[in-house]
């Protein structure tokens, strides 16, 4: 096991709306014997501003993030798109500032998405979870397309006792979230998430999961509005389950 | 749904989403060609080819002036004419002058998006000429007085029954929706036009500097006829469509036809390098190559957007884009639709004017994955949004939404200072109370946020945020050693 202490980078949406996802991460780390801390003062990685074009404002958030996380050993986050923001876009934001650019690169090199950290860095394929249910997995765009993380979560899910993973059609097609896109172009966004939900329902799985709470929030919000009977869980919550409880 | 005033883009998008016919076509298009291209790239023996072609495209952009001069020299040496047109009007004037000198009455066209970009058809028609599209899809669009909705398959939004009705009305045939019969009817009508045309007007897929040719790909043979039968051929070429060598040409064409139609090579590849000669009698008496800038050198000059000029217009990005796949091509209101259209249209025709194209995507990255030359369209969309966010002198763009800009200035203060952020959250948690419904979700919000709740529920801010939970449980220890916290977190 790694001797390094993991610093939890809890995405703002997880912190504010889905704290159980953060708690589930802790449960998994406890079970695996991974030490962790939670650097105080964290807010938002800056992605909403960056994706809307407000790169200077995003840079302020990035600066704040770097200040807070600079002295950590390893940063692990339950969101692919936030990891991508830190790893790929922070260095871009400081392209004209050599000192900040180097700091951004250094932070990026030690920032990992949760499932990627478990599988690729710690070499863990089985976290000892027990979740007797049918589950389908949504590939979030930034996670799968940009970070290339698609096998790691599946490996972990396939090793969960009792869990049957049923692949949905077009699992790597965008759910239609897109940050402010979802609010600015709601009709298009909802049409996209509707197709995603139809593909989820077609698997007849009782739970849909993924590694990015933003996409899951979009899917959850529409599932509730449509009144569909499918549970939406972040992958950490499934990996945290160890008593065979259906959450 | 929402009562907010809607832009043309949103209205057209909704029209597209409301058409079952279009939805069915888009679905099968993306299923076949989008997925097909991804499989093709994954299975291609030469896994380095896309990177290589991209690299050569970028290199050629760096040396564009030299390559174009070389091309022009070679075409002229064969007796062809070359005209460099700075803008649309210049290209139109030149073509009109050629037509006037040759007393052209009928123009047959090969499929060309550039011809749409510069709106040359209406100029020719106003000058008294008949203009006939000879690509089947474009011909159908022309008969229907409609607009293309895909850069490769222009009438994807029409099904065969609609085309059957159209042919009955316009070509006087008995109604049929049988594709071979419809194709035969079009072929018969087009043959007559092709045989009697005075001028062929085409685009140019690629040009090769080393040989001094332009090349055109097609599957219907119409290009070959339009470029050889009429006495005059005018080819419109976007100035970025050039490769240096025949080797580069071969690979680029292979990626083009694979990306466009999953073909290793199109049925026809026509090379044109000048007028007919005594030892090569097939071809027009006059050949004119019009090399068009129309905003391209401005793109070339900006390192942030230069990459978009590497596009080979294969249309593959349309075949995977989840937004295009819902709304179809008409909403883009441009000859160039889909992801490539969303980047190139604002750059050519105004970022403010086409703000919806810059903002109307999720930046999912599928277009970059499928693009044969790996163009990073999402990066450039974010770049365009940056121009809208802060304004840009270089791009003559003004700040698009000052209110939004102000909101992000506030946001910046809040996320840079966590006590303020935490206080803000607490206030928001109090304010949200009346809105939380029976299923513990927020059902309705006002203003901009209604964009979310019009179609979706929103989880409220949790009674205790993760930070608050952490503070309560772990305030004493800096680093949590494993196991020490286990029972706490099984709650
Ligand atoms: S951007 Fe790429 S995929 Fe899209 S049309 Fe151009 S070359 Fe084809």
pLDDT in tens, A149-181: 999 999 999 999 999 999 999 999 999 999 999
- B2 has a pLDDT exceeding 50: no
The atom of ligand 1 lying closest to the CA of B308 is 1
> What is the rounded distance in angstroms from the CA atom of residue B298 to the CA atom of residue B428?
46
Of the given ranges (B142-146, B444-448, B458-462), which has the lowest mean pLDDT?
Answer: B444-448
Domain contains A150 = yes
User: Quick one: pLDDT at residue B432?
Assistant: 87
Look at residues A72, A93, A120 and tell me which one is the last residue of a structural domain.
A120
In a domain, A37, yes or no: yes
Indicate if A191 and A116 belong to the same structural domain: no
* Helix, strand, coil percentages in chain B from 3-state DSSP, rounded to 5: 55, 10, 35
pLDDT tens for each residue of A18-31: 999 999 999 999 99
Q: How close does chain B come to A246, measured CA to CA in Å?
A: 14
- pLDDT bucket at B444, cuts 50 / 70 / 90: confident
What CATH number did the domain enclosing A145 receive? 3.40.50.1860
Is residue A1, in this structure, part of any structural domain at all? no
Cα-flanking dihedrals φ and ψ of residue A209, to 5°? -135, 170
Q: Kindly tell me if the per-residue pLDDT of A246 is higher than 80.
A: no
In a domain, A157, yes or no: yes
Q: Is the pLDDT of residue A244 over 70?
A: no
Question: Alpha carbon of B299 to those of A101, A210, B240, B349, B440: distances in Å?
Answer: 27, 39, 10, 12, 50
Question: Is residue A245 in a domain?
Answer: no
Number of domains in chain A: 2
Q: Whose CA is nearest to atom 2 of ligand 1?
A: B371
Domain around A180:
125-240
Strand order in the sheet with A134-137: A164-165, A134-137, A207-210, A231-234
Quick one: A142 and A222 in the same domain? yes
Average pLDDT, chain B: 93
Domain membership flag for residue A163: yes
pLDDT, average across residues B282-291: 95
Average the pLDDT over each of A88-97, B350-359, B471-480 and give the range with the smallest value.
B471-480
Please say which residue of A88, A120, A152 terminates a domain.
A120
Q: Do A136 and A102 lie in a common domain? A: no
- Final residue belonging to a domain, choices A95, A120, A145: A120
The top-level CATH class assigned to B44-294 is alpha beta
Mutate to test the interface with A, among B399, B456, B461, B479 (most CBs of A within 10 A): B456
How would residue A232 be classed by pLDDT, with cut points 50, 70 and 90? Answer: very high
Is the pLDDT assigned to residue B482 strictly greater than 70? Answer: no
Q: Quote the crossing angle between the two packed helices A186-202 and A213-226, to the nearest 10°.
A: 80
**Sequence-separated (6 or more) residues with CB below 8 Å from residue A140:** A80, A81, A175, A210, A211, A212, A214, A215
Kindly give the distance from the C-alpha atom of residue B340 to the centroid of ligand 1, in angstroms, as a whole number. 6
Do A140 and A107 lie in one domain? The reply is: no
Among B13, B368, B462, whose Cβ lies nearest the Cβ of A17?
A: B462
CA atoms within 13 A on the CB side of B127: 20
Say how far apart CA B116 and CA A143 lie, in whole Å: 38
Return the closest-CA partner of residue B117 out of B20, B271, B241: B241
**ipTM of the prediction:** 0.95
Confidence (pLDDT) at A242: 87
For residue B490, pLDDT over 60 is answered with no
The confidence band for B125, taking pLDDT boundaries of 50, 70 and 90, is: very high
- pLDDT-derived band at B48, boundaries 50, 70, 90: very high
Query: pLDDT over 90 for what percent of chain B?
Result: 85
Q: Specify the pLDDT at position B19.
A: 94
Ordered by start, the domain boundaries in chain B are 44-294, 402-490
Q: What is the pLDDT of residue A31?
A: 96
**Local confidence band at A247 (pLDDT 50, 70, 90 cut-offs):** very low
Mean per-residue pLDDT, B461-483: 77
Structure tokens at A210: 């993924």
- Say if residue B41 is exposed, middle or buried (CB neighbours under 10 Å; 0-12, 13-18, 19+): buried
User: Average pLDDT of B309-322?
Assistant: 98
Give the Cα-Cα-Cα angle A17, A21, A22 (nearest 5 degrees): 95
Percent pLDDT > 70 in chain B is: 96
Q: Whose CA is nearest to atom 4 of ligand 1?
A: B317
Mean pLDDT, to the nearest integer, of A80-100? Answer: 96
* pTM (2 d.p.): 0.94
**CA max distance for chain B:** 94
């Amino acid at each position: 096991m790694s001797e390094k202490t993991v610093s939890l980078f809890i995405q703002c949406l997880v912190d504010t709306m889905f704290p159980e996802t953060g708690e589930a991460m802790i449960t998994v780390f406890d079970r695996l014997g991974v030490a962790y801390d939670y650097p105080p003062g964290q807010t938002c990685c800056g992605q909403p501003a960056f994706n809307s074009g407000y790169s200077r404002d995003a840079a302020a958030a990035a600066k704040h993030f770097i200040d807070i996380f600079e002295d950590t050993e390893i940063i692990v986050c339950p969101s692919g798109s936030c990891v991508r923001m830190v790893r790929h876009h922070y260095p871009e934001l400081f392209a004209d500032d050599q000192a900040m650019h180097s700091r951004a690169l250094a932070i990026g090199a030690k920032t990992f998405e949760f499932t990627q950290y478990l599988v690729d860095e710690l070499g863990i394929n089985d976290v000892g979870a027990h979740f007797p249910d049918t589950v389908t997995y949504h590939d979030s765009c930034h996670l799968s397309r940009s970070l290339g993380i698609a096998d790691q979560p599946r490996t972990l899910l396939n090793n969960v006792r009792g869990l049957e993973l049923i692949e949905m059609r077009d699992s790597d097609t965008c759910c239609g979230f897109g940050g402010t896109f979802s609010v600015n172009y709601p009709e298009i966004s909802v049409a996209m998430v509707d197709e995603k939900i139809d593909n989820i329902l077609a698997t007849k799985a009782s739970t849909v999961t993924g590694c990015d709470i933003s996409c899951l929030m979009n899917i959850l919000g529409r599932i509730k509005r449509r009144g569909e009977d499918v549970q939406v869980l972040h992958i950490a919550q499934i990996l945290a389950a160890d008593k065979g409880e259906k959450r | 749904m929402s009562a907010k005033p809607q832009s043309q883009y949103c209205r057209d998008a909704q029209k597209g989403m409301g058409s079952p016919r279009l939805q069915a076509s888009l679905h099968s298009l993306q299923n076949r060609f989008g997925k097909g291209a991804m499989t093709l790239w994954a299975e291609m023996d030469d896994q380095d080819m896309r990177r290589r072609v991209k690299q050569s495209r970028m290199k050629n952009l760096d040396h564009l002036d030299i390559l174009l001069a070389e091309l022009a020299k070679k075409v002229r040496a064969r007796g062809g004419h070359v005209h460099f047109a700075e803008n649309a009007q210049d290209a139109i004037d030149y073509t009109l002058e050629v037509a006037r000198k040759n007393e052209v009455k009928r123009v047959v066209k090969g499929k060309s998006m550039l011809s749409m970009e510069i709106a040359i058809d209406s100029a020719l028609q106003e000058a008294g000429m008949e203009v006939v599209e000879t690509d089947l899809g474009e011909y159908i669009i022309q008969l229907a007085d409609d607009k293309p909705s895909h850069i490769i398959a222009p009438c994807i939004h029409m099904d065969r029954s609609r085309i059957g009705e159209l042919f009955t009305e316009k070509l006087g045939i008995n109604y049929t929706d049988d594709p071979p019969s419809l194709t035969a009817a079009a072929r018969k009508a087009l043959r007559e036009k092709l045989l009697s045309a005075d001028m062929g007007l085409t685009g140019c897929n690629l040009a090769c500097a080393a040989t001094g040719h332009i090349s055109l790909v097609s599957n219907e043979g119409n290009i070959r006829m339009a470029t050889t039968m009429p006495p005059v051929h005018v080819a419109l070429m976007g100035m970025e469509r050039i490769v240096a060598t025949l080797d580069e040409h071969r690979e680029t064409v292979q990626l083009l036809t694979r990306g466009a139609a999953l073909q290793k090579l199109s049925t026809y590849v026509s090379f044109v390098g000048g007028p007919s000669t005594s030892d090569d009698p097939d071809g027009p008496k006059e050949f004119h190559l019009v090399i068009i800038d129309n905003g391209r050198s401005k793109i070339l000059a900006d390192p942030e957007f230069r990459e978009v000029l590497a596009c080979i217009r294969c249309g593959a990005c349309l075949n995977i884009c989840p937004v295009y796949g819902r709304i179809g091509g008409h909403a883009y209101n441009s000859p160039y639709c889909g992801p490539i259209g969303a980047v190139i249209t604002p750059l050519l025709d105004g970022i403010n004017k086409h703000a919806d194209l810059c903002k109307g995507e999720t930046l999912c990255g599928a277009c970059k994955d499928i693009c044969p030359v790996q163009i990073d369209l999402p990066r450039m969309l974010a770049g365009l949004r940056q121009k809208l966010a802060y304004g840009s002198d270089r791009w003559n763009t003004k700040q698009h939404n000052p209110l939004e800009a102000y909101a992000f200035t506030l946001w910046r203060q809040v996320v840079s200072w966590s006590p303020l952020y935490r206080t803000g959250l607490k206030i928001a948690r109090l304010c949200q109370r009346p809105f939380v419904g029976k299923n513990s979700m927020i059902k309705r919000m006002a203003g901009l946020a209604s964009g979310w709740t019009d179609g979706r529920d929103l989880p409220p801010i949790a009674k205790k945020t993760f930070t608050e939970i952490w503070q309560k449980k772990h305030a004493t220890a800096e680093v949590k050693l494993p196991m020490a916290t286990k029972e706490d977190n099984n709650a």
